[in-house]
Amino acid sequence: MPLDFISYSLINGPPEWARSNFMRMVYVVATAGFLVLLKKFCSGRTNTSERPMHGKVVIITGGTTGVGARVANDLAKRGAQIVLLTHVPPSDPFLAEYIQDLRDKYDNQLIYAEQVDLSSLHSIRKFATKWIDNAPPRRLDMIVLCAATLTPPGKERVITEDGIEETWMVNYLANFHLLAILSPALRAQPFDRDVRILVATCSSYIRSPSLKEPIDESTWSPTVAYARSKLALTTFGHAYQKHLDSYKRPDGFPVTTRVVFVDPGFCRTAGMRRWLTKGTLTGLTLYVLGYFVPWMLLKSPEQGAQSFYYAAMDGDILRGGGGKLIKECREVDFARPEVKDEEVAKKLWEESDALIEKMEKAASKRRAAKRKEEELLAVKREDKDKSDDTASLRSLKKSKSRDKSSKDKKRDKDKDEDRKKDKSKSEKSKSSSSSSWSSSKRKSKKTDP
């Protein structure tokens, strides 16, 4: 059919309907071509690097949704051992089903979860210390830090139980705390093992105020808080790479752990949806009605994960040291020179250490007070149970004594009745014997001459 139309057009010229609607057809074709090119451009590049991942141990935060979930799926498909750090416990039915689906889908049983609340310093320390408290050191090939949170525009700031603003805590301080404790485990890996730390970043760090400028409630906003947390994480990542490189191994070989920053771009994740809808039902309704716009301009989680695949598998990325930024599956430069400022990084590290120490001491005191209160409640409960047992025992004894006295009374009553019956019987027998004797005497008198 198309060949017939083309041959007819070449011989006789375009048909009348094509000549009369020529400009309209040009506009339609041009618009469709523009949309296709725009979608292809917004979708980003695709990773082409490959390397074997079978048996490699990977810790992932944020691995149950968005870009992190796609990374977890891809590494699980390649046979890696996945350790998901999740907010809910492994016994949660939805998480258990999610993990079982991954195991069944990729025939990989080396996938499990550990409960780590990234808004709690104590929860992070408990997991990290358990991980490093092992001899010989546990194998660790990769850490993927994808977890992040944000406060929707127009909403009030959220404070964690430790007294820290939530965006700063989850996006920066949790990663700082986790990597600081896991540092011995990373440095203890064999020199010939390729160890990578993939840190998710965002271009929002470019418009962040300087870390030298303090921030308080008057200058706080969701946008500033998110951008500042990403700038702090990037600055810390460079300082952490220098911290690893400065370690002198006992065998004299250099440390092969590399920090790699990954910018997945703007993706249609739960966090982006929460930001666009401002966390309201009205915003969500508008988002659904106009879904074509975010579908066209934003990447899917799978497309955003391509840069993570590249950072995890490319062999040339480790040449020249760590601290590289990967965007669209290629290395790019940082837009803020502050991220490599050693003075800023040193001050940030010291302030973060001091804040964690202060908050952990306060949290430890609260947990001790709570345990003491629980122990007092347990003692009171035990005393109450004992008193209840004593009271019930007394009531039981009283009831038994009442039953015994009633039984004794009944027994005495029965004995009295039996005695009365025996007495009446004896009296009856006596009266009957006396009457028989008198009658026999009368008979004898009659018979006597």
Distance CA 332, CA 321 (A): 15
* Phi/psi at 346 (5° precision): -65, -45
Q: What is the DSSP letter of 169?
A: I
Distance CA 7, CA 268 (A): 46
Distance CA 110, CA 57 (A): 9
Distance CA 79, CA 72 (A): 11
**Which of 185, 170, 139, 138 minimizes the C-alpha distance to 62?**
170
**Catalytic choice (77, 126, 230, 361):** 230
Torsion sign (Cα): 171, 174, 177, 183: negative
Give CB contacts under 8 A, 24+ apart, made by 188-191: 188/137, 189/137, 189/139, 189/140, 189/256, 189/257, 191/249, 191/251, 191/253, 191/254, 191/255, 191/256
Concerning whether 230 is annotated as a catalytic residue, the answer is yes
Distance CA 291, CA 288 (A): 5
Find out whether 56 and 141 touch, Cβ atoms under 8 Å: yes
Catalytic residue numbers read 230
